[in-house]
Structures are given as C-alpha cells and as structure tokens.
Amino acid sequence: MNELLKDIEELAVKAGSAIMDVYQSDDFGVDHKADDSPLTKADLAAHKVIVAGLQGLTPETPILSEESTDIPYEERKAWDKYWLVDPLDGTKEFIKRNGEFTVNIALIEHGKPILSVVYVPVTEVSYSAAAGVGVFKREKGKKHSIMVKRNSRFKPTVVGSRSHMSDEVKSYLERLGQHELVSMGSSLKFCLVAEGKADLYPRLGLTSEWDTAAAQCIVEQAGGKVVTLDGEPLRYNSKESLLNPHFMVFGDKSKDWVNI
C-alpha cells in the first residue's frame, strides 16, 4: 500500500504538470458540459495522464473519472474496488487563475476511499493518505504527518466554498453562531480540516462523488469525519446517481455539528 501511494503521488504530480502547461498558456480552451459546468484543455490533459498511469499501475482495476462518467450502474455496481478520479477539481478556480484547484485520485474499496492523493499544482503541495499507512502533507520537499484539531475552538473556523455558497449553508452558519469563515475552492476545504486549520466544512449543496472521495480519505485518516446529515459516512458507488447527498466534514467528534 505504501509503494502504491508513492506511485499515485508521482502520477498526480505528472497530471499537475500537464495542467500547469495549460494554466501558463493564453488558451484554456474553455467549453461547457451538458450541466453548464466548465471544461478546459487542462481537465482533458490531466484525465489522459491519470488514466494512462493507472492502467499501467493496476490494469485490473476499473477507473471512473469525471471526464468518463458514461459507465452504466449495471456495470459499476459489480466493482468491489475501483479508482475514482477528478483530474481537475475546481475548474472555475482554474479559469479565475486563483490557484485553488487540485488533482484528486482515490482508490475505493467496498464503497469507502482507502487510499488517495490530493495535489495542488500551483503550490506543488500534496496530501496523501492510505488506510494502515497514515496521512501526510508534502510541501517544499518536506513530508510530515497531519491531524485534525481534536477540540474545537470556542469560535470555530468554518471553511466554505468560494464559488458555491448556498442559502442552506448561510442559514446553518446563522444557527451556528460566532465563527470565523474562510473561503476556499476545490477539495482544499477538506484538507484545511484534515490539518487542523479549520474545524468544519458544511456542504449543503450538490457535489459529485469524484469531488469528495480523495479528500474524504485524507480527512478520515487524519482522524476526522465526513458524514451525511443522517450521521452516516459518505459512501461511493452505492446507487445509480453519482451525486452526493449533503454532508459535513469536521475534526472534533465530541460536538454534534450536524444538529445545530
């Protein structure tokens, strides 16, 4: 598992390099999908790098990527283990050139993410985790373990979406009371909770399974939780739709963040 994690981290860096080639150009090649979400040359370039890399590493393991989602559930539901990939999470942030986008690669087994890498191409920071191995942050050539904050602050730090702040989240934050709000794009919101820089990420809006799997693994291996509003762990490939229910990400398990 440790060796595979290292291979996936190297693959994410390679995909990040392909993304940066586009990021530093004058032509993002922006198009739009059927749901009106943006698609760029960088999304497709990273997708090709990751799929080719995973097929070389684990040819027997299926791959589900945001850019190849037309796999019917009748086929997917037979998968005990598969790769779940978002080649470029935070395409809107990419287009805005604010640097808050990531490469997300996760290995799912029996509906649960068990190994993952979240890589930030602009800063060259990576978060990696695997069950039985631990969770790590690598920056400036140095790698160290990370952990959620065990006891929430009197005034909790809440991380929210830079591009998708829903009315439901605004209402929740009013009920929460005093807090500090930090806006962040992509799966970096999860990572802030995982390394103890934020207490809570309430996501009361639509996301897809590839948006969350890699970062969920990071949070869980760091000692935090990612749960639905029923208090159950976020699960994968359990239904035909690839949309997630609303969920909460938090570090301090002693507080009931769901029923505020």
pLDDT band at 115 (very low <50, low <70, confident <90, very high): very high
Whether 228 and 250 have beta carbons less than 8 Å apart is answered as no
* Residue 19, pLDDT score: 95
Task: Considering only residues 57 and 254, tell me which one the structure prediction assigns the higher pLDDT.
Answer: 57
Whether 22 and 44 have beta carbons less than 8 Å apart is answered as no
pLDDT(40) > 90: no
- Element housing 226 (H / E): strand 225-228
Q: Which residues of 38-62 are buried (b: 16+ CB within 10 A; e: fewer)?
A: ebbbbbbbbbebbbebbeeebeebb
Q: What residues have CB less than 8 Å from 53, skipping those under 6 apart? A: 11, 14, 15
pTM of the model: 0.94
* Residue 18, pLDDT score: 95
Of 63-72, 145-154, 208-217, which has the strongest mean pLDDT? Answer: 208-217
